[in-house]
Amino acid sequence: MTELLQKVRVIDPVSEIDELFDVLIADGYIRKVASDISDISADTQIRDCQGLVLGPGLVDLYSHSGEPGFEERETLLSFLQAAAAGGFTRVSILPDTSPVIDNPALVAQLQKRRGGTRGQGGNFSPLSPPSSLSSPLPLLHIWGAITVDIAGKQMTELADLASVGVVGFTDGKPLENLALVRRVLEYLQPLGKPVAFWPSDRQLTANGVIREGTNALRFGLPPIPTSAETTAIAAMLELVATIGTPVHIMRVSTARSVELIASAKAAGLPITASTTWMHLLLDTKAVKSYHSSLHLDPPLGNPSDMAALRTGVRAGVIDAIAIDHTPYSYEEKVQAFAEAPPGAIGLELALPLLWQYLVETEEFTALELWRALSTNPAECLGEKVSAIVPHQPAELTLFDPQQTWKVERKSLYTLSQNTPWLGQQLKGHVVQTWC
């Protein structure tokens, strides 16, 4: 099939381009990019793309799938459908399923369940999507667990997991045994796989559910001090400085954390970092509604934290924006704020909301946002995203910033609805992806 996208706004972080072009796509490859393409075959499908945005496919560093074990929250198929509908061409699932992804047999089972692998690094072949979804499903990466049953006491067989194609290693939960963390960093050095840690001191977190500050007092909710995150990051940075194994720091949520990471990068430490999309859009003021989908872990920051995170992303201190899609059933989330499990869905909502509140307000350039959602997350996984130039594979996302839609059960591919934007009208919608 040959398609001509006419007068589309091409946003390419690889080539640092934000311009109007015609783009010819055929047989899964970009064939031509020019200001005007007229020499086309008679069977070419022509699409007027004025007002639309074309960029590299979005890449999510980490999110949760319900399957295996919690299929009522999300199946792998619904997860991939939601990702495709949100503009993602590569997604990565955390290992905290049931059973935990801590052994090669389960990785192989999941790969087989998804129809086999493609290439290296735990990529699954795209399945045939339902007729209602016009985009191919994204490639799926699997994170292997660092510890057995994510109990934080015994390492998994890291080399065995690496041999079956996990994308990298993480528990997706805080690891507080620093002696074990040190051993993990030593063992992983020769494997050449990414390792991601979520630094958080659970003793300091205690039973807190909101970031410490005036709003925590105002809303009468137990607070979490900034030091719960920053002391754990400082300890992690000391280990990286000593051992030298590259590390990705997940779920950065405070201004002080951004400062620590900036200093570490300036000193040459081999680290990358990510924050989640909701921490860039909302702060503790939003918790006034007591909506259980605003109960996140780490919690939403104070206004100064949100501002620092935005600045950190723009400056490259925070490399990537992760979605951290965390589905829960209706029954699990219909509880008091402090009692509900933390987390919210996001795969289908992140790009429209980030574009609306960061790009359209001109706080971010389109290139800055797209880079943090595509090329940079791929680099954190040790991968590359191709430039939008001839002869490259067509791994692309077509986005309409002006299309409006309502967030409701029938408009979502995810099986869960735990989002504070449920029932609201959004502006911005993914038209199609190529994968």
Active site residues: 324
Which residue type sits at 155? M
Q: Tell me if 420 sits within 8 A of 291, measured CB to CB.
A: yes
Q: Tell me if 233 sits within 8 A of 265, measured CB to CB.
A: no
Q: Give the residue ranges of DSSP H helices in 244-374.
A: 255-266, 277-281, 303-315, 330-333, 350-354, 366-373
Q: Which two tokens stand for residue 115?
A: 């129809």
**DSSP class per residue in 46-80:** EEE-TT-EEEEPEE-S-B---TTT-TTT--HHHHH
| Residue 342: burial class (beta carbons within 10 Å; 0-12, 13-18, 19+) | middle
In sequence order, the β-bridge partners of residue 54 are: 10, 398
Q: How far is it, in rounded angstroms, from Cα 404 to Cα 196?
A: 36
- DSSP summary character for residue 413: S
